[in-house]
Structure formats: structure tokens, C-alpha cells
Amino acid sequence: MTMPANSPRVGVISFPGSNGDHDALNALQMDVGLHTRMIDYRETDLSEFDAIILPGGFSYGDALRCGAIARFSPVMEPLRAFVDAGKPVLGICNGFQILCEAHLLPGALLRNATLRFHCHWTHIRIETSGTAWTANLSAGDVLRLPVAHGEGAYFASDELVEQLEVNGQIVARYCDAAGNVSEDANANGSVASIAAVANDRGNVVGLMPHPERATNDLIGGADGLRLLRGLLSMAEARA
Amino acid sequence: MTETPAMQRWIIEAEIMPKQGVNDPQGEAVLSGLRSLAFDGTRRVRVGKLIRVEVTAGSEGEALAEGTRMCERLLANPVIEEFVVSAAAIG
């Protein structure tokens, strides 16, 4: 795949215990066609990047709480500055947990209500196109993506959920294939069926399902591309 | 003349529990296990964690304050957990 000259540079942070880092890197390089590079968790200069992804996995063996220790990695200070500058950051699965623990996203992720590790395909309904990562999608779009998590039940207090709703920070909800949100479709027991949230500025998004593992029909689905290709429109916007 | 309190070793215990209103599926699973064992009077179970930290501090108050700061900043997640800190002198 040829990359447009103005293709944005997207970094993927590899923490000790990340396991979705290569999936994300390969998806961005091979299936989306972007300039990417793995970022070591000890790096402190992120100036070359236009967007950053925190991948899935089990950083620091999930010690204490998922994502609680990764928050102290050297790369997290420059990441905070990157976020403050309004640049796009996406946390997938464990990346979502890390962003919550680092207070870069509201809420927390709890053990699945079933107490089981969930590894299956699911559907999510996009709730807003008002974030950096969903700008080329529309509210109501349904994506079919895989999940792989033990602690994926999103939690926020009732007041916080209401505030997220009012501010348009609920980015996606678990739903059925037709886009209906129901308790049946909300397998892990997330509050308000929330599968993805954004910070108040909309440049940081955390998402429990794995778009980087759904970028080619050969591996069961390509809906993840619809989300990750948003990075290409960022490039067009810059051109 | 003010005396500097002698530094002493303390064991701080932080008892961390899921907040009221936060789902605790582990607690529910343990509850159904206890009922299966015919502990019929069992009404409710919550599962949390206990973290012991050994510190050096000049007084119990100092040790407790240190433990509270540890919970606020790392040991507990205030979004989902509440905590109680205690301290006991050792040695």
C-alpha cells in the first residue's frame, strides 16, 4: 500500500505486558497505510507524532488494578503534554484502563459482571462523531468488533454518566447487529452499556473492543478500519 | 526544648473495598458459594483487598497520614473503591 506523503505519523506505545501493540502497528501500516512506529514505554520525546495509540494487553501483569502501574511509565508525562496540546490519543482495552487510571479519561473499568474473560465478536453503536477518532463516522453507525477482556465493565457514578451524556462524551455503546442497545447486548455489565468514552475535549478516546483486530475480512471482519481510517481524514484536514 | 519524635517502624494496613453502588460480582459469586454450603443466614458478601505497608514514621498520626496519601494516590481508585487505614507499631 502506498502512503500519502502527508500521512500522519501514528505511534503505538509498547508497555511491559502489552500484547496488542504489534496488532495495532500492523493494522495501521498494512491495512490503513500510515507511517507508524512502536514507542518504547521509556521514551520521553513524542514530538514526531500526530496521534498515539495505547494498545491492549496486560501491562505490568495487571498488578494492583489494570493500568494502575503503567501510569508511572516515563512515557506518560510527555503523553499528558500531548493530550494537553489537543492531539488525538486512543486507548484500546488495557490502553483504555491505563487512560482511566492516569485520569486522562473519566470513570473506571471493573471485572466483567460474569466474572469470565470475554473473547468474542460484539457490536457497538457509535454515539457521537464529535471526537477526533469518530469524526468520519456518524451517530448510529454500527461496527462489528472483537472484544478480549476480563475487566471491561465500564463504571461511572450516575451523576458522571449523566454529565458524560450531556457533554457528548459517550462515544459508543454495546448493541445488537441492528444497533439496538439492550442488557443482552451488554455482555460485560457496563454502566449504560458504555463501550467507549472521550475526555471533555474529545481528543482522547478509550475503547474496550479491538478495532485493530478487525481490519481485514481474512481475519473475520474489517469494521475496525472504519474507525482507524479516521486518521487519514486528519491528514486530509491538514493538507 | 522540643524533642524530635523518635522514628519508629509501623505496619500500615489499608483495607480497600468496592464503594457502595459499585457492582461486586466476586462478592456475589462468594455469596452463592456460601449458600451452597448451607450458610443459610448469609445475606451479603463484598470482596476487597488488604494491603500491608511497612514504613518508618515518628508517630501513629504520621503513619496514618502517610497511609491515607498512599491510598489516595495509588493503592485505591477513588472512582470505585473506599478505604480504611490503620497503623500498628512494630519492633
What does the DSSP assignment read for A173-208?
Answer: EEE-TTS---TTT-TT--GGGEEEEE-TTSSEEEES
**pLDDT number for residue A21:** 97
CATH value of A9-238 in 3.40.109.10, 3.40.50.300, 3.40.50.880, 3.90.420.10: 3.40.50.880
Looking at chain B, which residue has its C-alpha nearest residue A111?
B25
**pLDDT number for residue A30:** 93
By C-alpha distance, which of A205, A214, A4 is closest to A105?
Answer: A205
Delineate the domains of chain B, giving CATH numbers in brackets: 8-22+48-90 (3.30.1280.10)
**pLDDT number for residue B6:** 84
Residue type (1 letter), B30: V
What's the whole-number average pLDDT of chain B? 94
Strands A170-175 and A194-198: antiparallel
Confidence of residue B91 (pLDDT cuts 50, 70, 90): confident
Place of cell 460485560: A188
Which of B26, B75, B80 minimises the CB distance to A155? B80
Strands A153-155 and A142-149: unpaired
Instruction: Give chain B's radius of gyration (CA, Å).
Output: 18
Residues in chain B: 91
Q: pTM for the whole thing?
A: 0.93
Domain ranges of chain A: 9-238
**pLDDT number for residue A2:** 55
Note whether B75 contacts A: Cβ–Cβ < 8 A.
Answer: yes
Distance set, CA A123 to CA A126, A172, A176, B53, B90 (Å): 10, 10, 6, 44, 55
Note whether A68 contacts B: Cβ–Cβ < 8 A.
Answer: yes
Least confident of A22-26, A62-66, B4-8, B85-89: B4-8
**pLDDT number for residue A88:** 96
Q: Mutate one of A62, A64, A151 to test the B interface: name it (highest B CB count within 10 A).
A: A64
**pLDDT number for residue A236:** 62
> A105: which 3 cell numbers?
479519561
| Ranges of residues in chain A whose predicted pLDDT is under 70 | 1-5, 235-239
**pLDDT number for residue A75:** 98
Question: ipTM, 2 decimals?
Answer: 0.85
pLDDT tens digit sequence for B52-74: 999 999 999 999 999 999 999 99
Report the distance separating Cα A83 and Cα A65, nearest Å.
23
**pLDDT number for residue A231:** 84
Place of cell 481510517: A229
